Amino acid sequence: MPSYKLFYFNVRGRAEISRWMFAQAGVKYEDIRIGSETWPEKKKECPFGQMPLLEVTDDSGSTHVIAQSSAIQRFLARELGMNGKDSYEAADLDMVGEQMKDIMMALPWTEKDEERKKQLTKEAIEGPIAKYFLQLENRVRDNGWFGRSGGPTVGDIGFSVGCEFLLHTVPTALDATPKLKALNERVRNMPNIKTWIESRPETKI
């Protein structure tokens, strides 16, 4: 059975979707959190000088290095059975993932003034992001998930992880989209994911 090492900083950020996927699948991995003192050296090992980074040692003993958060998530979705039952369902889930990227990119990440950043974040969530959520609401299937075959899939988990930050800032962000609100609660209350949320290291983001 493969062994996994996930490298990232001591924040949720771009590694949290992968952490939830490991938790839901019940697959053990090393959650390695890199500090500022060791990052310059680790950076040299990263294909693009960025984290997260996933190292997979397969059954033959060969180690494979996977960079870029989306590539890691899609790899894990295939390996852990969270990518749907066929290429069309996988594409549907990719669509959800890309929409969530657009949602997160609408936030004022580069704003330095904290008070202004908070206000701009609220405006983004109540403005363009609210429209994005209405579009995603239409992607929730009658089974309550983004995937035809049920969930949670990489699409469901990625959506719920993104909602953590958004709902922390604007608790009512999903009130106009009841299907999304129910889906988020469903994912967060899956026993393995709930255990991870309750036991993970405490970080700001």
Positions marked active-site: 8, 14, 109
d(CA 88, CA 78): 14
DSSP string, 77-99: HHHTT-S-SSHHHHHHHHHHHHH
Q: Tokens for 185?
A: 């609660």
How many residues appear in the chain? 205
Are 104 and 162 in contact by the 8 Å Cβ rule? The answer is yes
Q: Tokens for 180?
A: 């999304």
Q: Tokens for 15?
A: 């590694």
One-letter amino acid at 199 equals S
